[in-house]
Amino acid sequence: MNQSAKPLSGKVALVTGGGTGIGKAIAIKLANEGARVIVAGRTKEVLMGVASMIFGEICVADVTIEKDVEEMFDNIKSKYGRLDIFVNNAGVSGPIMPIAEMDIEQWDQCVSLNLRGAMLCLKQAARIMTEQRSGSIINMSSLMGVKGYPMRTCYSATKFAIIGITEAMAREVGPFGVRVNALCPGAISGELMDRVVARRAIAEGKTEAQIIEENYTSVAALRRWVSPEEVADVTYFLATDASSSVTGERIRVDAGRF
């Protein structure tokens, strides 16, 4: 299939946190389906690695800084005149500890990126998309945005909030032809999850194998992790006209974790 015949041909997409993990997989998927993809993040070298794979562009920005966010979206609008797909993916796992021992500095850092950063980006995306009267926004929540987990109170709090923002925003911008949905991935295989498992093992006094078995694989209907590429596939669905009547929704991609 040539580039012009691909489903997302002519579409402009922005993926924050696009240098690693889920964000990287999403950027690759959207580019492979024809979109012009801008990957955003704080580390230029990491972003360049992804951009070179997909013939895309990079934007070095800290989404917790309003000026960075405004410049990022202004540059996209100036260069392309539009933004069709926005994947609001930048985030951190946050403190992993009992709430009675919470490190408030770590709490604030997590909230700043996962919530303030997401909101600052949504503010700008809404301005562009409502003006052009089209667009698809995919917010990255989590399974922990629909179900609280011990030791993860901060992360859960931010991801529950993303669900609320998604539902409220969908009703605001829907009359302008803009859709807003949230993805709720479960445990995703990769370096980030490896770090989370290691920190949980220390905090709970268990082996990493025990943490994985008890909390991630045995409790999933499919008895396995979810891959970043599987999340990217669902993101692609939400970015296309195949989901043209889907908005204000939260979709779990979690291998059936109950």
Backbone φ and ψ of 142, nearest 5°: -170, 165
User: Which candidate in 149, 155, 216, 236 is catalytic?
Assistant: 155
HEC sequence for the chain: CCHHHCCCCCCEEEEECCCCHHHHHHHHHHHHCCCEEEEEECCHHHHHHHHHHHCCEEEECCCCCHHHHHHHHHHHHHHHCCCCEEEECCCCCCCCCCHHHCCHHHHHHHHHHHHHHHHHHHHHHHHHHHHHCCEEEEEECCHHHCCCCCCCHHHHHHHHHHHHHHHHHHHHHHHHCEEEEEEEECCECCHHHHHHHHHHHHHHCCCHHHHHHHHHHCCECCCCCECHHHHHHHHHHHHCHHHCCCCCCEEEECCCEC
81 Cβ partners below 8 Å, 6+ apart? Answer: none
236 in active site? no
Distance, CA of 150 to CA of 152 (rounded, Å): 5
Please answer whether residues 96 and 154 qualify as being in contact, where contact means their C-beta atoms are separated by less than 8 angstroms: no
Known catalytic residues are 155
